[in-house]
Amino acid sequence: MTASPITTWHTEAARVAAGIRLRVLEHVLANNGGYMSQACSSAELFAALYTRIMRLGPSIAPAVPLPFAGVPSATNPRAFTGAGYNGLKAPDLDRFIFSPAHYALVLYATLIETGRMAPEGLAQFNQDGSTVEMIGAEHSPGCEVTSGSLGQAISQAAGIALARKRRGETGRTWVMLTDGEFQEGQTWEAFEVLSAYKLDRVGVYVDVNGQQCDGRMADVLAIEPIADKLTAFGARVAVVDGHDLDALVAPTEMEPDGRPLVVLAYTDPCRGLEPLRARAPKLHYLRFASAAERIPYQQAFEAMAAGAKE
């Protein structure tokens, strides 16, 4: 290895981010639909988390995800979670709590790009009997809690972090959220508690893409200024360009100071995929209306794939 460690990290993170967009686009083209804009907005965020920010052990889960083993119950000892893809749970290691369950495809792509899941695992996406679900749940790769009802993961993470604090664990608990979740009352309840209990080993990364199912958040229900509100709730807030890897990482290098850390990563929901802009403001789910609409996406895919080979 001739490159400096920092250069190596940047190169790797950029490769992972490009790989996430490419893999998600490939999947969307093959399946005539998917959560595309979420990959465009959060690719660097996931890449930075998994390559630089989070201290995770290697995956202890099967490279090709196991089939669904049934819902948890007193009579089903075979039920499992997808936490193993984020490595062994250990006092000094970090944990990842994934909130926006409809970003699951982005998470799976991240696991593949970082060598935690086999590429062929994605073939099970949204297939009956599979854990690689469209809306991730706790059994899905990379997931540890069931979070599809938005706003619940941050509180569950607070419980996990509170438990870890009581045990004197040094590892941090990272939560990935989206800006839409700040419309939910529960998110603010959680921040009241995170602040009051000084859970400063909780770090929250928010993909602030300004989008929700019905369209632009500013049009659906405007909630800015998020940073001011969070600061008033006692959080330590960093506002960054969500496509700038250095900016994403920088806030995590500060020593915890008693406040929960929130990194508001402002992102472009069409980043790296220009044809997507034509669909604004409805970007939540991409399904091609016609063969003609598909063409520019196919062309974009081919250009991105060629770029990835260079």
Partner 1 sequence: MEILSKVYAKRFAAWAADKPEVLVLSADLTSSVEVDVFQKTYPGRFLSMGMTEQNMHSLAGGLAREGFLPFIHTFAVFIYRRAYDQICDSIAYPNLPVRMVGFLPGVLTPGGITHQAIEDVAVLRALPNLTILEVGDATEIEGVLAATESIRGPVYLRMLRGEVPRLFAAGEPFTFNRARQITRGDDVTLFSSGISTEEAMRATSVLQARGVSINHLHVSTLKPFSDPAVVEAAAQARHGVITLENHTIVGGLGTCVAEVMAEHGVGQKLVRIGLPDVFAHGASRPYLMREYGLDALALVRGVERLLGQDLKITEDDLSAVRLQEVHSASKAEAL
Shortest gap between Cβ of 290 and partner 1 (angstroms)?
Answer: 38
Per CB under 8 A, 145 contacts partner 1: yes
Q: Does residue number 168 form part of the binding site for partner 1 (CB under 8 A)? A: no
Question: Which of 1, 74, 289, 306 touches partner 1 (CB under 8 A)?
Answer: 74
Q: Where do the DSSP E strands lie in the chain?
A: 95-98, 173-178, 202-208, 211-212, 215-216, 236-241, 261-266
* Both tokens assigned to 125: 């996406």
Distance CA 231, CA 237 (A): 6
What is the DSSP pairing of strand 202-208 with strand 173-178?
A: parallel
> Can the peptide bond before residue 91 be classed as cis, meaning omega within 30 degrees of 0?
no
Q: What tokens were used for 199? A: 């859970």
**Contacts with partner 1, 170-189, as mask; x by CB under 8 A:** ---------------xx--x
Question: Closest CB to partner 1 among 148 and 256?
Answer: 148
Amino acid at 257: D
Closer to partner 1 by Cβ: residue 36 or 137 = 137
Of positions 59, 99, 114, 146, contacts partner 1 by CB under 8 A:
146
Sort 145 into a burial class: Cβ within 10 Å, 0-12 / 13-18 / 19+: buried
Q: Which is nearer to partner 1, 23 or 95 (CB)?
A: 95
Name which position in 159, 225, 258, 307 contacts partner 1 (CB under 8 A): 159
Q: Which residues contact 222 (CB under 8 A, 6 or more apart)?
A: none
Considering the complex, what minimum distance in angstroms separates the CB of residue 179 from partner 1? Answer: 19
Please count the residues of this chain forming the interface with partner 1, following the rule CB under 8 A: 34
293: exposed, middle or buried (Cβ count in 10 Å: 0-12, 13-18, 19+) = middle
Minimal distance, residue 97 CB to partner 1, in Å: 9
197 to 236: interface string for partner 1, x by CB under 8 A: ----------------------------------------
Q: Which of 73, 78, 255, 278 binds partner 1 (CB under 8 A)?
A: 73
Spatial separation of the C-alpha atoms in residues 134 and 137, rounded to whole Å: 9
Do the strands 211-212 and 215-216 form a parallel or antiparallel pair, or are they unpaired?
A: antiparallel
Cβ closer to partner 1: 60 or 163? 163
Binding site for partner 1 (CB under 8 A): 71-74, 79, 138, 144-149, 151-153, 155-164, 166-167, 185-186, 189-190, 192-193, 196
